[in-house]
Structure formats: structure tokens, C-alpha cells
Amino acid sequence: MLAAMVSDADAPALTATGLTKRFGAIEALRGVALQVRRGEVLGVLGPNGAGKSTTMKVITGFVAPDSGQVRVCGLDQAQDPLACRALIGYLPEELPLYPEMRVADHLDHLCRLKGIPAPERRKAVVDAMARADCAHNEKRRIRGLSKGNRQRVGLAGALLGDPPVLILDEPTSGLDPSQVANFRDLVRGLAARHAVLLSTHVLGEVDAVCDRVVVIHQGRTVLDTTVGDLRTRAARVARVRVTLRSGSADGLRTALSAAGWATIEAGDNPAQLAIDADPSRRAELVALAEANGGLRELAEERVALETVFRELVAS
């Protein structure tokens, strides 16, 4: 199996350093760096247009970088591109499926393209279908499958040959909530045998599936950390919803703006403000509310991870 080619269990299965790529006047990548080990799901997170898909295409060898290096299981992609491609299973955002073919025939065809020997093809197809949970559709034509089931066929194709590295580019795009939940369960189970790199613009997907996250914005890596650290960052700031007795929050808004330690969001209720501030400022907040309309109610909410993400990618 290809996985046996990885000799050092502690070494990263995939490493990218200093990746740059320009398309005419557009600088798509500006020094992107990441690494992922076997047994790990790494999320590549960023808003649309951040450079995620370009990063995936460079790592898989579909696009050559202008500078930087990609190493797959210790091999240099620039020096040995075919060997590196053989070590990667790739699920692109736009699936290259043959709609007139039946699922098993399509996967058998991919085995041929991947160079899997004839005596091993049926076993490879059966194993991939089982792991991607699409064996029940093996005799159906791909054109008749739902979007979620087509995604499973695409995942089975990426799993053929048991590559040590899996790259999934926006794998749940266009799926309904039930399909998303099922597909995330599949992805979580893959890390037992693979290093998994998952590209997405959905923070909830990273939170649900990944161990670590790399945030890319405007072609740069702006954060490389654990998902747990992201949650910790969110916990450091508490959002409180303040309702005043006076019926107007204008005075409190002015006082908080002058203080400079709070972020304010107005709601539909003119007597209410949503305020993000360090919990250590709670006594000051209460005092300002009492002095500027009188405090009727203070309700605490934890800041969502989406707020942390917005702060990270703020220009």
C-alpha cells in the first residue's frame, strides 16, 4: 500500500512552505505555509477568494507555484511530481465524474488511471465504496444520484489505493444539512488511516471535523493553531446584551465609544445594545449603564467562533 511509503510516523505527511502564485496582476498566494500529520484533520479556512482552492491545486500538483516547496511523505513535489500525486487522494470542489457510468465501473476506471494492478482493482473498489458509504449505489448510474451520493462517489475515488494524504476541497458545498452531517461523520473517520487536509469557508465545519486550523486571507497564512485554541480565543471575550430602563441606549453608546474598550452592536430595540468586552470590564460596564439610562437587564452570551474568524480576516 502507498501508506507504507511513509516511514517516519512523527514526520508530517504533507508540508507546504512559502507558496506564492500569481495569475497576471492577481497575486493569489503570498507565502502560504501549512503542514499536516497522519491521524490529523487540518482545516484550511478562509473567506471566498482567500486563496484556498489555489493552495489545494498547488499542493496536488495541478498548478505549479511561482515559488515555495511542497513535500509529500518526504518527497519533493518539484523533483518527483508523479510519485507525490500517487500519494494523494484528491476530492476537488467540482467533481470530475462520468455521469453515464455506473458507480462501480467509474471507480474501476479510476483504478486503471491510477495504475492499480488488475488483480487488486475489485478489492480496491469494494474497500473504497465501503469506506465512503456508497456501496449500496454501486450498480446505479452516476447521473441518477443525489448531490450527497455523488460526493460519496467522489470520496471513494479519492480513497482508491489507500493514499496516505487526502485533500478535500469544499467537500460539503451544495449539500443539505442532513447530507452535511453525514459527510462530516465520514471525514472524521478518515483520520485513522490518512492525513486529511480539508478546505472550507464554513467555520462550523472546521469546529465539527478538524483538529487544527490554518486561516488563509488574501493569499497569506494569518493563523495556524488548534481548534481548541480558537474556542479559547472566543471564550476570552464575553458578549452581553444590555437593556436600559430609560428606553434609549444612545447615552451608553456614546460613553462606551469614548471608553474605547468595547465593541458595540445595536439591535431592533432602541433601549438595548449587544456589547463585546473583556469580562474584567464588567463592573465598569454596569456603572456606565447605571449612569446612562439605568440598567434594567444584563444577559451574557459567549462570542461565537464566527466572531473570532471575522476579526482574524479583518483588513
| Structural domain range at position 289 | 237-312
Residue where a domain terminates, one of 198, 232, 266: 232
What confidence score (pLDDT) does residue 4 get? 43
What confidence score (pLDDT) does residue 3 get? 43
What confidence score (pLDDT) does residue 204 get? 82
The closest of 225, 242, 231, 248 to 277, measured between CA atoms, is 242
Q: What CA–CA distance (Å, rounded) separates 37 from 60? A: 16
Assess whether 52 and 100 both reside in one domain: yes
Assess whether 20 and 98 both reside in one domain: yes
Q: Are 55 and 28 in contact (CB under 8 A)?
A: no
Kindly report the CATH number assigned to the domain that includes residue 6.
Answer: 3.40.50.300
Assess whether 204 and 252 both reside in one domain: no
The closest of 310, 289, 89 to 201, measured between CA atoms, is 310
Assess whether 162 and 208 both reside in one domain: yes
Residue where a domain terminates, one of 202, 232, 262: 232
At 66, list the grid cell: 511561482
Other CB atoms within 10 A of residue 248 CB: 12
CA distances from residue 169 to 42, 101, 166, 177, 267 in whole angstroms, order as listed: 12, 23, 10, 18, 36
- Residues (pLDDT < 50) of the chain are 1-7
What confidence score (pLDDT) does residue 2 get? 45
What confidence score (pLDDT) does residue 1 get? 42
Assess whether 207 and 285 both reside in one domain: no
Assess whether 42 and 173 both reside in one domain: yes
pLDDT tens digit string along 182-215? 889 898 889 889 999 999 888 888 888 999 999 9
Kindly report the CATH number assigned to the domain that includes residue 286.
Answer: 3.30.70.120
Assess whether 40 and 174 both reside in one domain: yes
At 273, list the grid cell: 445594545
Residue where a domain terminates, one of 169, 197, 232: 232
CA distances from residue 160 to 2, 54, 165, 266 in whole angstroms, order as listed: 10, 24, 12, 52
Assess whether 212 and 301 both reside in one domain: no
**Which pTM was predicted?**
0.76
Assess whether 155 and 269 both reside in one domain: no
Assess whether 123 and 143 both reside in one domain: yes
What confidence score (pLDDT) does residue 9 get? 55
Strand pairing partners for 277? 238
Assess whether 23 and 148 both reside in one domain: yes
Q: What CA–CA distance (Å, rounded) separates 239 from 46? A: 24
Assess whether 154 and 281 both reside in one domain: no
The closest of 94, 32, 89 to 61, measured between CA atoms, is 89
pLDDT tens digit string along 279-309? 788 899 999 999 999 999 988 765 566 667 7
Q: How many domains does the chain have?
A: 2
